[in-house]
Structure 1
């Protein structure tokens, strides 16, 4: 995915919720489109999930919405641009999983993301810490009013049109090809012996009854989101 200069830096996805597409990250085998989520809380406070590069147009668009208060690094792969955001918004509070905080000793974090809704945003956003993997844990969020499930790598859903034939085959093998995306294969395998934890977390996510799923990598799910979520984790019963 290549961003056009004419693309708006922020796209309204639900009331008080916007997305911003970032650059394509080239992995070892596949290209990954990137995306951040912005939620406007009471008092025009902005909550930013998985920040993408902070361009001048993006900063201008954010300034029109409110003031950046919270920066979220949901797992140890989604922190690459935190430093530039911390420098641009020195009064913003940063939060990350314990793995992120251990990995990025050069950054200042207010506290660790866990499975309890944070006092700063708990009225608007629920959260769950998805654990059980030896590879990675991820903080997952629900924007309550729009019932938007916000994930980073928990589910991949890469659009086939953006991939070469070989890349499509690889994405299908990994399980992250739209419209049937799920958790990447290597992450699924890392739950060996602890799938019961993933099942517990899945029950929590399903209890939220999401109306849409916004992931960092791939096509957003706008219809039948709860059914999609259940299918994406059918591997737990395989």
Structure 2
């Protein structure tokens, strides 16, 4: 989960996790939850908890999420773009795969790229030998994290579309990369992305 405090003090909550009392207390100390973001169809599991806890928040998801979560009323689709936070947070729908599409975000002020599964960069410290071996083979072990192997392979016939999306991400020149799975890249995130997406060349 990633939270951005917008210039008006409202909170933009990306890929919300399970809402414990402790987390709720911390959130309430930060400010008012204004937007709830489900960026791909794997990152919505706890969305309903947040919708119940913060009924005034606007909910956004990709078309795939909206189709999957019919019990939730979404304010709009992330596929459409042009949302209220655009002056502070840009977005790009990384599409072209039959497996999944993901909406990626860029916070201008902090030069931070925010992703969920687009890149995974596990430290491996909590992995056993076999898990580390598999993670390294799949290319998701820090400091050389990448898109998960199955998702990479699904772009076999649409690499050109993926390159277009990557070009957009690189044009933002992000310095920090925050992801849902793995170690945060705290500097030169654009260079990390170029290495991470060499498989597209």
TM-score, normalising length from structure 2?
A: 0.97
Using the alignment, how far apart are the partners of 2:124 and 2:29 within structure 1?
Answer: 35
Q: How many residues align?
A: 201
Match of 2:4 among 17, 35, 39: 39
Question: In the alignment, what sits opposite 2:87?
Answer: 123
Aligned: 1:208 with 2:179: no
Compared with structure 1, are the counterparts of its residues 231 and 189 closer, same or farther at alpha carbon in structure 2 (3 Å cutoff)? Answer: same
Aligned: 1:61 with 2:16: no
Using the alignment, how far apart are the partners of 1:46 and 1:204 within structure 2?
Answer: 25
Aligned: 1:80 with 2:80: no
Using the alignment, how far apart are the partners of 2:23 and 2:61 within structure 1?
Answer: 22
Q: CA deviation at 1:72?
A: 0.3
DSSP-derived class of the 1:196 partner: helix
Q: Deviations over 1:179-205 (max 9, x none)?
A: 100000000011121110100000000
TM-score, normalising length from structure 1?
A: 0.83
Using the alignment, how far apart are the partners of 2:97 and 2:137 within structure 1?
Answer: 20
DSSP-derived class of the 1:116 partner: coil
- Structure 1 gaps of 5+ residues are 1-35
Q: Deviations over 1:105-129 (max 9, x none)?
A: 11111110026341x1011100000
Aligned-residue RMSD, C-alpha: 1.0
Q: Which has the higher strand share?
A: 1
Could you tell me whether the CA contact under 8 Å between 1:115 and 1:127 is conserved in 2?
A: no
Compared with structure 1, are the counterparts of its residues 102 and 220 closer, same or farther at alpha carbon in structure 2 (3 Å cutoff)? Answer: same
DSSP-derived class of the 2:146 partner: coil
Using the alignment, how far apart are the partners of 1:41 and 1:155 within structure 2?
Answer: 25
Using the alignment, how far apart are the partners of 1:224 and 1:51 within structure 2?
Answer: 26
Using the alignment, how far apart are the partners of 1:43 and 1:225 within structure 2?
Answer: 27
Could you tell me whether the CA contact under 8 Å between 1:117 and 1:125 is conserved in 2?
A: no
Q: Deviations over 1:82-141 (max 9, x none)?
A: 0000000011110000001111111111110026341x1011100000001010000000
Using the alignment, how far apart are the partners of 1:78 and 1:145 within structure 2?
Answer: 25
Compared with structure 1, are the counterparts of its residues 57 and 80 closer, same or farther at alpha carbon in structure 2 (3 Å cutoff)? Answer: same
Aligned: 1:98 with 2:56: no
Using the alignment, how far apart are the partners of 1:206 and 1:174 within structure 2?
Answer: 23
Using the alignment, how far apart are the partners of 2:7 and 2:172 within structure 1?
Answer: 21
Q: Deviations over 1:38-67 (max 9, x none)?
A: 011122110000001111121111112210
